[in-house]
Chain A
């Protein structure tokens, strides 16, 4: 048994006070806090072996290069990829998705082609595809959500045509916490010879990801949402697909040789990593992977699920809340969106902030979902991670009671 109580101690920020109150951090879907080991690693890099990677012949550079590549190797294991050639470092999940849009989709899509997305998508997995559609004259098809919380799989399966080029789907909704049936989605897409991009921003670090078992073609995520530093994203893509892709950022590091007119581009994956990478943070990202692996993703998933159930039961007891929890909440991870009746979500967030409680409010970067599906102008959202506990939920409930009192 993992003792989750001790985990909180590893996160220095959780000891700080906000507006004179103990910090209760419930905005993990936006970004997560960092354990000491990650923070210390960043300092360690800068104090001990800061040197540009893949460039110096001297030992300092060799050391940083080795550490940098070590993170890549551990990401291979973390998502069960086949090789380091399939792991490209980017700045964030959004950039990973844009890399696929620019280097793969734009070269492939023709006027009249179709890209399937789901209504659950975060703007990061929508706007790039709108852009591809605009430039290439392709069309976006939205898979709707059933009341149960599942994507409408009949609609999905029937939406394939010989013009379908790509399916882009989130592994977990950042608004409703819904985990999509990725295996089934990918299987039916492949039966139609269509490739699938998985936005794993909310899934990574919360559930086990096995890209081979899923048979995902592309999978994108951000380090900062899984205990790691900001400024680090990952794109996984099958080697044979990456091999076909043409880079869209050019310059140093991504080349093998350069003469006056022409250049030969580097092997995978560095072909897609032009310029000096954020190596210090990438090296520190490895500490986040280690932290998660030590606890075990299965344990984390179970822990968050229990916290979800606890919060659900507490919030359901409050009379003036509208909870956006799907009928089949079994498929939800540790995210709950809600509104306090008669109070705008921003006011809820501001009052909770005075109590030291951080929650998200607004469109949550998912305007089509919030506006067209939930039919709301704004929602409030709590999202858990492994350092949250029942006490946090109780403080939230007390905070929400204060909201109600103020607006009575």
Chain B
């Protein structure tokens, strides 16, 4: 299947939740230095809920589109729910299968999310 589906390109060209948050509970950065993908995410957490989240970054369409989709997905969700999310959830959002090399790009924002809401980095 074509990697560059309409929805991925759309999120890449018009990223949702892009920028910085004024009120920040936690801000995290993740990167794949050898690929050149970078993601920064700001989180506002209140009463166990992801009240707001924004990201900014630099990198391939897969990494940036997943950040856009993922921030959309977790906004308003309970932290405990977010902590349960895994690789499959990201792939579901993207709607494609990825080779191991490209999976790294897609999971970068998941790592950022996990750290941002208090969990540890694990895939």
Contacts and interface: CB of A to CB of B under 8 A. Distances in A.
The number of chain A residues touching the other chain, given as a range, is 10 to 19
Interface residues of B, number: 17
B19 to A, nearest CB: 19
A377 B59 contact: yes
Contacts of B9: 406-407
A407 B60 CA distance: 12
Interface string A322-352: 0000000000000000000001111100110
A407 B4 CA distance: 9
B38 interface: yes
Interface string A347-365: 1001100100000001100
A363 B59 CA distance: 12
Contacts of B4: 347, 350-351, 406
B58 interface: yes
A187 B38 CA distance: 43
Nearest to B13: A407
Contacts of A376: 36
Contact of A346 (B2, B33, B38, B62): B62
B107 interface: no
B104 to A, nearest CB: 10
B34 A363 contact: yes
A346 B34 contact: no
Contact of A362 (B3, B34, B61, B62): B34
Interface string B29-63: 00001111110000000000000000000111110
A365 to B, nearest CB: 8
Nearest to A376: B36
* Chain A contact residues: helix, strand, loop or mixed: helix
Contacts of A295: none
A345 B102 contact: no
Contact of A354 (B2, B37, B58, B59): B2
A354 B38 CA distance: 25
Contacts of A354: 2-3
A362 B35 contact: yes
Contact of A344 (B2, B33, B34, B60): B60
26 contacts: A344-B36, A344-B61, A345-B36, A345-B60, A346-B102, A346-B105, A347-B4, A347-B61, A347-B62, A350-B4, A350-B60, A351-B3, A354-B3, A363-B33, A363-B35, A363-B36, A367-B33, A367-B34, A376-B36, A377-B37, A377-B38, A377-B58, A378-B35, A378-B60, A406-B4, A407-B61
Given A343-B61, A344-B36, A347-B60, 14 more contacts: A344-B37, A344-B59, A345-B60, A346-B60, A347-B61, A350-B3, A354-B2, A362-B34, A363-B33, A367-B34, A376-B36, A377-B37, A378-B60, A407-B9
